[in-house]
Amino acid sequence: MKIKSAILCLMLCANIGFAQKNIGTHLAGNESKGDKLFYLFSYDEALSAYQAALTKNPEEDRIELKVAETYRLLNKPEEASSYYAKVIDNEEIIAPIQKLHYAQTLSASGKYDDAKVWYNAYKQAASTDTRSDRHIERIENLSDLFKDSLTYFVDKLEINSIQADFSPAYYKDGIVFVSSREPEKGLSPVFNWNKSHFLDMYYSVEHEDGSSAKPVLFHKNINTKLHEGPTVFYEDDLKMIFTRNNLTDGEQRESSDGITKLKLYASERANEKESWSEPVELPFNGEEYSVGHPSITSDGKILYFVSDKPGGFGGTDIYRSEWKDGTWSAPENLGNEINTEGNEMFPFYHHQGVLFFSSNGHGGLGGLDVFEVKLSDDTNIVNLGYPINTQGDDFGLIMSHDGQSGYLSSNRKGGAGDDDIYHFRIQHEILDVLVYDEETGEMLYASAVQLLEGKTTTSISKTNPAGEVNFQVNPKKSYALLVSKTGYESAEILVDTDQLQLDDFLTIRIPLTRDKTPIASDGVAITPLTTPVKRFVFDGTELVAHDATAEESVSSVNAVNTVLKPIKYYHVVNPSGTFQDFAEESGELLILKENKFSNKSENTVVLPVQVPDNHKRSKIIQNELKAMGYSVAYIEINSIYYDFNKSLIRNDASAELDELINVMVDHPELKVNLSAHTDSRGSHTYNDKLAKRRVLSAKAYLEQEGISAARIVTSQHGEKKVLNGCKDSIRCEEYQHQQNRRTEIKLLFE
């Protein structure tokens, strides 16, 4: 798997003494020789031995499987998958894990449909392993990983060599990275895994023009004859924590299985002129497991790292330790939302509370993919998608303080050699805000403008004398603007930039209305406003009042709501004071048991289900529950509707969405599907775009009220699914067209 892959699995042999043990392998047959070399992690030599054995037994499944496994460990997925394909149906020699290995190599080769077949096969063989479900879900939604491809620009660095270069860390005016390149002076030991040189750390200065200086070896007190790196620096680059093979009192130490494990070491210096101190082990290192890949918070108080120590969820997990009373606390596993049965590694903590890490267990484009998670909500694991991730291994991402650029490592095609280091920058859209007096058109100087992502304020600025202020925004996210100025009513604007990814510059003109609040003689408002009183939605072309409602649409709401059956939601409290909730859609009763919705009703109250009138049925259910001593709160959630040629959320629609929000806040395990439609008037192309604006408007409303985007599934169908036959050329009444201008709401129960 190349030198980097040994680090990835944290199972380094790094054992120079193995050379003597290898002598005996030359006296054995080729397959036996290959087995011994494989056991000693000498995969290049093992592969040669197995291939020699195949020349004598060209269709021996047992040997072909060993070749497949060796190619996999050398990180050659296409070669590995071709050998797996020859033997994968031989149940006598294939173990369940090898079905997973085959699926992984197919995925890393871009053969996603074939990979899905074998992920399913592994799922049948190992039903408790969640990796199959994660990978299958990602393959079924593969297009999601390419939707932000215009957001990132990725460039290969000129400092890369034909050997492995990876895992950069910010240091002074450049980066310190890990490399297996041959040192300029003298020979370095060779690593058995693939005959690469042992890892050292190098430093490269970044010039003002963005180019990188020729790398130089990092400090002699840090680099040794064994593996060093990755690392992290903190406290003005005067302290560092780094990964190294187990080296105690200058002696290489092995575990009981003959492997030199990894440990974390700390070093520091008083100032830039001083040398780095003799490295000291961190207290939670072990002799029988590996610890490595450090990242640290900006205040130096919390350390994130990777280990394969017993008690984890998979091969390698991410842990945290806190600096307390002059030492590091016992490691705490980050849990099974972040960690999987696979390998999670290369964590990087960003000061905005986001943890970036790489994983082959969460599902992605192939190999290792880079993910991000807000530590305040570790249930929302986000794959960064292409071009940060590829079919190869993508890992070791670090991001600048402003979140606009960074570095990552990858063995993607087109590199200089093995693993290479890439620089990336995020293409931001400029959101230009112009604030003016609604009556006079005068541009309003010193208006306060807050930019919010969800409910978090990311920036606050005041308009210049021209009434203007601008922000850099990420085209893949939704935002809100809060605008206020003394003497004017405040305004709130919902902006969903998802539909505007191809634009570089977006201008929103925001009118403010003079405040009618009485003003005292000193010019101060007697009852100053504290919240926005006017709400707007910006759909990319126009600013539309949030509460605008057409007369004709209001009069037809009751008729419209009879077309689609609502979601009926019951909050039930039993006599003992505990509660149980359930919902029904289209007549199907769904019971909540142990925080999961199900249509199985064993050990629950038997409720009537054969009442034809939906309204009466709900009433009968409530009455029966109350007669048994239960208290019941009941709501209905209907689809929402739009005015002709509009995507804004009307008052009647916001009421339905508010009910939905209440349910989703109470039950964070729920997701919702929003499916937007139009009437048949207008072209198919226009209606597709209009439906997209409508579903994004509903999505933005939910996000603004704190519902995570990860819990909202959206689709748009234009005029493809009219409900009442009102298709092109069919004459219909306005209320019939209104029935089709909708976003359908469906709760997604697990």
- Per-residue model confidence as pLDDT tens digits over 17-44: 333 333 333 334 899 999 988 887 788 8
Model confidence at 598: pLDDT above 70: no
Determine the average pLDDT of the residues in 320-330: 95
CATH for the 638-750 domain, from 3.40.50.300, 3.40.50.720, 3.30.1330.60, 3.20.20.70: 3.30.1330.60
Confidence of residue 666 (pLDDT cuts 50, 70, 90): confident
Rounded to whole angstroms, the Cα distance separating 136 from 651 reads 40
The DSSP letter of residue 362 is S
Determine the average pLDDT of the residues in 330-344: 95
Q: Is 411 within 8 Å of 389 (Cβ atoms)? A: no
pLDDT value, residue 16: 30
Rounded to whole angstroms, the Cα distance separating 264 from 242 reads 6
pLDDT value, residue 546: 57
Q: Is 12 within 8 Å of 254 (Cβ atoms)? A: no
pLDDT in tens, 123-145: 999 989 999 999 999 898 888 88
pLDDT value, residue 630: 66
DSSP secondary structure letters along 326-349:
TEEPPPEE--TTT--SSBEEEEEE
Determine the average pLDDT of the residues in 136-155: 82
Confidence of residue 201 (pLDDT cuts 50, 70, 90): very high
Q: Which two tokens stand for residue 176?
A: 């310190």
pLDDT in tens, 248-268: 666 677 777 767 789 999 999
Model confidence at 163: pLDDT above 50: yes
Rounded to whole angstroms, the Cα distance separating 159 from 457 reads 39
pLDDT value, residue 579: 58
- Distances in Å between the Cα of 749 and the Cα atoms of 599, 664, 669, 687 are 10, 11, 8, 30
pLDDT value, residue 41: 77
CA dihedral sign, ordered 185, 193, 345, 302:
negative
Model confidence at 568: pLDDT above 70: yes
Rounded to whole angstroms, the Cα distance separating 24 from 34 reads 12
Radius of gyration (C-alpha) of the chain in whole angstroms: 31
Say how many CA atoms lie within 13 Å of 447 toward its Cβ: 33
DSSP secondary structure letters along 535-582:
EEEE-SS-EEETT---HHHHHTHHHHHTTSPPEEEEEEE-TTS-EEEE
pLDDT value, residue 282: 97
Model confidence at 189: pLDDT above 60: no
How many whole angstroms from its chain centre is CA 718? 29
pLDDT value, residue 272: 84
Beta bridge partners of 406: 399, 424
- Distances in Å between the Cα of 498 and the Cα atoms of 345, 502, 538, 624, 674 are 31, 9, 12, 47, 16
What is 2-146's CATH topology? 1.25.40
Determine the average pLDDT of the residues in 377-384: 86
Look up residue 270 and give its amino acid.
Answer: A
pTM comes to 0.63
Rounded to whole angstroms, the Cα distance separating 322 from 328 reads 6
Nearest by Cα to 556 from 697, 312, 740, 736? 736
pLDDT in tens, 64-79: 999 999 999 888 999 9
- Three-state SS string over 311-331 comes to CCCCCEEEEEEEEECCEECCC
Say how many CA atoms lie within 13 Å of 165 toward its Cβ: 24
pLDDT in tens, 490-544: 888 888 655 455 455 678 899 999 876 554 444 444 333 334 567 777 766 677 6
Q: What's the length of the chain?
A: 750
Q: Which two tokens stand for residue 270?
A: 């008083």
Q: What is the mean pLDDT of the chain?
A: 80
Lowest mean pLDDT among 10-14, 20-24, 296-300, 348-352: 20-24
pLDDT value, residue 268: 95
Rounded to whole angstroms, the Cα distance separating 536 from 120 reads 47
pLDDT value, residue 457: 75
Determine the average pLDDT of the residues in 431-435: 90
Nearest by Cα to 314 from 360, 354, 367? 360
Confidence of residue 749 (pLDDT cuts 50, 70, 90): low
Q: Which two tokens stand for residue 281?
A: 């082990």
A 10 A CB-CB count for 533 gives: 11
Rounded to whole angstroms, the Cα distance separating 396 from 394 reads 7
DSSP secondary structure letters along 239-279:
EEEEEEE-EETTEE---TTS---EEEEEEE-SSTTSPPPPP
- Please list, residue by residue across 261-297, b when 16 or more beta carbons sit within 10 angstroms of its beta carbon and e when fewer do: bbbbbbbebeeeeeebeebeebebbbeebbbbbbbbb
One fold for 2-146 and 152-426: no
Cα distance from N-terminal residue to C-terminal residue, the chain = 38
Model confidence at 338: pLDDT above 60: yes
Q: Which residue has the tokens 């050292």?
A: 200
pLDDT value, residue 596: 38
What is 152-426's CATH topology? Neuraminidase (2.120.10)
3-state class percentages of the chain: helix first, strand second, coil last, to nearest 5: 25, 30, 45
pLDDT value, residue 616: 61
Q: Is 292 within 8 Å of 280 (Cβ atoms)? A: no
- Please list, residue by residue across 427-451, b when 16 or more beta carbons sit within 10 angstroms of its beta carbon and e when fewer do: eebebebbbbbeeeeebbeebbbeb
CATH no. of 429-545: 2.60.40.1120
Model confidence at 400: pLDDT above 60: yes
Nearest by Cα to 489 from 426, 441, 541, 533? 533
Model confidence at 586: pLDDT above 90: no
Q: Which two tokens stand for residue 523?
A: 């010019």
What percentage of residues in the chain have a pLDDT greater than 70?
75
Model confidence at 563: pLDDT above 70: no
How many whole angstroms from its chain centre is CA 12? 29
- Distances in Å between the Cα of 543 and the Cα atoms of 232, 438, 695 are 47, 13, 17
pLDDT in tens, 68-124: 999 998 889 999 999 999 999 999 999 999 999 999 999 999 999 999 999 999 999
Model confidence at 198: pLDDT above 70: yes
Confidence of residue 662 (pLDDT cuts 50, 70, 90): confident
Confidence of residue 356 (pLDDT cuts 50, 70, 90): very high
Domain ranges of the chain: 2-146, 152-426, 429-545, 565-627, 638-750
- Collapsing DSSP to helix, strand or coil, 63 comes out as helix
pLDDT value, residue 649: 81
pLDDT top residue among 741 and 17: 741
Model confidence at 705: pLDDT above 70: yes
pLDDT value, residue 15: 33
pLDDT top residue among 645 and 180: 180
Q: Which residue has the tokens 């490399």?
A: 179
Model confidence at 319: pLDDT above 90: yes
Residue 572, sorted as left (phi over 0), alpha (psi -120 to 50) or beta, turns out to be beta
The DSSP letter of residue 214 is P
Q: Which range is most confident: 31-40, 228-237, 242-251, 450-459?
A: 228-237
